[in-house]
């Protein structure tokens, strides 16, 4: 069964959170697709994942790259699973893909400071529950550590 994790960003940016979530995915041996809603965001994340830390980078490709199918992380704008990922991150209000059941885990990261993003996340939560997915809600505490909320 697909597990869907909802990550509520508040007073933090996607760029500050996404690299560590992706690192944890790779540590577990997972392949990942990150879906945005704009090519500009994909291009910005592409640059960020190479330089977000002085001593590290995340191996990845943009969906247009010829070797994307070989990469552990692929950044996309559309549906599809170019690297046979078992985890899909949905950012920037990206909708649940038609092949949602094909993933072990989906991670919906949303901006809690944006009313539209909050409403879309609530709708996605309802949709995921109706599809029978296991859903969990995560929010950072005052130290920035993710806590599961009920």
| Range(s) of the domain holding residue 45 | 3-149
The Cα 109–Cα 45 span in angstroms is: 14
Contact 34, 91 (CB under 8 A): yes
- Give the CATH number of the domain where residue 54 resides: 3.40.50.10110
pLDDT for residue 65: 72
pLDDT for 147 equals: 93
Domains contained in the chain, number: 1
DSSP 80-119: --TT--SEEEE-TTPPPPTTGGG-SEEEEEEETT-HHHHH
Q: What are the C-alpha distances in Å from 81 to residues 10, 36, 87, 120?
A: 29, 13, 10, 23
Task: Identify the segments of the chain with pLDDT beneath 70.
Answer: none
pLDDT, position 67: 77
Q: What does the pLDDT read at residue 63?
A: 82
């Amino acid at each position: 069964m697909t597990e869907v994790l909802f990550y509520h960003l508040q007073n933090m940016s996607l760029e500050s959170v996404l690299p560590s979530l992706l690192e944890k995915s790779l540590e577990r041996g997972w392949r990942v697709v990150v879906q945005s809603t704009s090519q500009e965001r994909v291009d910005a994340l592409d640059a960020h994942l190479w330089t977000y830390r002085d001593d590290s980078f995340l191996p990845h490709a943009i969906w247009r790259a010829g070797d994307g199918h070989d990469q552990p992380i692929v950044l996309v704008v559309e549906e599809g699973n170019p690297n046979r990922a078992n985890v899909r991150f949905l950012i920037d209000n990206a909708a649940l893909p038609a092949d949602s059941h094909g993933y072990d885990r989906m991670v919906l990261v949303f901006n809690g400071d944006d009313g539209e993003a909050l409403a879309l996340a609530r709708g996605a939560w309802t949709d995921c529950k109706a599809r029978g997915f296991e859903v969990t809600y995560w929010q950072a505490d005052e130290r920035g550590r993710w806590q599961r909320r009920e």
